[in-house]
Amino acid sequence: MKETLQIGFIPLIDAGALLVAVDKGFTAAEGLDVTLVREVSWSNVRDKLNIGLFDAAHLLAPVAIASSLGLGHIKVPIVAPFNLGLNGNAITVSSALHAAIMAEIDGDPFDPMATATTLSRVVASRRKDGAEPLTFGMTFPFSTHNYQLRFWMAAGGVDPDEDVRLVVLPPPFMVESIAGGQVDGFCVGAPWNSIAVDRGVGRILHFGSDILQRAAEKVLAVREGWCAKNPHIVAALVRAAQRAAEFVEEPQNRIEVARILARAEYVGVDPDLILRTLEGRLKISAEGTVRESRRYLLIGRQEAPRPDPVQAAWLYAQMVCWGQAEMSHDALQTAHAVFRPDLYDQALGSAAKPIRASDSVGAFAGPAFDPENVARYLASFPIGRQKPR
């Protein structure tokens, strides 16, 4: 008898391993009868997972931590036995803002420090002229998108809470918002940056991997209590997702994967756009300029699926930096415990590959991240909203 599961997801390419696992029968082969439920917002996914309407979910990595800490909502401990994607975000800006940055830039336009310091000059000039602050969209307060935008801006001297406006928008609404002039830029996952470029309403300024070389973006999340009661189901999900992640990364499978994800009930966009994303080959301007990066989105490569507690620590550090959480040893340990490489290893046995010691967050600015001394790390950044202890 198969185990019946409901799993929620947002229409993003980094849901690919989950979608392919179901579509190709990898979950069925593990004895799982999975119904996928497409949602429009991360709050919907979080809430339905937390109250038990979903057994598992494609979830923002920071939301899993925030839920476990009781930040921004009720406290529901979450565990992540599988990482669905590293990286995959991009910062897209309107044509007008791109032109303003390029007119002022002194340095490499692909260098995030050069664009961040230029943005500070653009912001100062707008303030002097009495113009409205620039508005940037991100997908959720507890999201890598939010933290990447903030990290980039703050490195150049822009205070993201005082100098610009940050607003929350569901991923599918980003393109219409920049087209309508409601936002001047946004940070979101694939495919929505590319859709803005293809429509001629935005230009990709930076890949998320320019800001952080490795960033845990989405996880396969389950409630801690449910996981404890159903370890065999969790292990089966991990095995199916791992098989799918490896399938997605095989070059000979990418056209098929793009066609699967392009279906209306999944991501619902042009398969060629999905193929370009999987290959890390993105058009960054309407004129056709293409930029390539092997790091743009990691689904099954470079040990991306294995949860890394160091990534959880960095995300918690950002919550502290921006006033969402207090600095606490216990809270840091709770964040660590969300990412469960032990469950991943148990499910895969000898197939599990430990993360190399040389891997790190790899931020473009500031000192190397020290997960054992988060307070000292944060003290090196002049802009932040840390709560007094």
Could you please report the per-residue DSSP string of 278-296? HTTEEE-STT--EEE-TTS
Q: Find, among 370, 11, 51, 383, the residue nearest to 188 by Cα.
A: 11
pLDDT tens per residue across span 268-294: 999 999 999 999 999 999 999 999 999
CATH of domain 3-86+216-268+301-306+320-360: 3.40.190.10
Q: Name which residue leads in pLDDT, 292 or 353.
A: 292
Decide if 130 contacts 141 (C-beta within 8 A).
Answer: no
Residue spans per domain, the chain: 3-86+216-268+301-306+320-360
Which pLDDT belongs to residue 250? 97
Q: What is the mean pLDDT of the chain?
A: 95
For 208-220, what is the mean pLDDT?
A: 97
Which pLDDT belongs to residue 172? 86
Name the band, by pLDDT with cuts 50, 70 and 90, for residue 102.
very high
pLDDT tens per residue across span 311-328: 999 999 999 999 999 999
pLDDT over 70 at 332, yes or no: yes
Distance CA 12, CA 360 (A): 25
Q: Find, among 192, 196, 98, 95, the residue nearest to 145 by Cα.
A: 192
Q: Going along the chain, which residue ranges are E strands?
A: 3-9, 32-38, 56-60, 78-87, 89-93, 135-138, 165-168, 185-189, 203-207, 216-223, 281-283, 290-292, 297-298
Distance CA 219, CA 231 (A): 17
Decide if 222 contacts 48 (C-beta within 8 A).
Answer: no
pLDDT over 70 at 12, yes or no: yes
Polymer length in residues for the chain: 389
Which pLDDT belongs to residue 357? 44
Percent of the chain with pLDDT over 70: 97
* This model's pTM is above 0.85: yes
Structure tokens at 111: 């260098």
pLDDT tens per residue across span 250-259: 999 999 999 9
Which pLDDT belongs to residue 358? 43
pLDDT over 60 at 359, yes or no: no
For 348-355, what is the mean pLDDT?
A: 70
Q: Find, among 8, 66, 51, the residue nearest to 338 by Cα.
A: 66
Name the band, by pLDDT with cuts 50, 70 and 90, for residue 344.
very high
Number of helices (H) and strands (E) in the chain: give both, helices first.
18, 13
Structure tokens at 122: 């653009």
Distance CA 335, CA 317 (A): 10
pLDDT over 60 at 388, yes or no: no
Q: For residue 248, how far is the Cα from the chain centroid?
A: 18
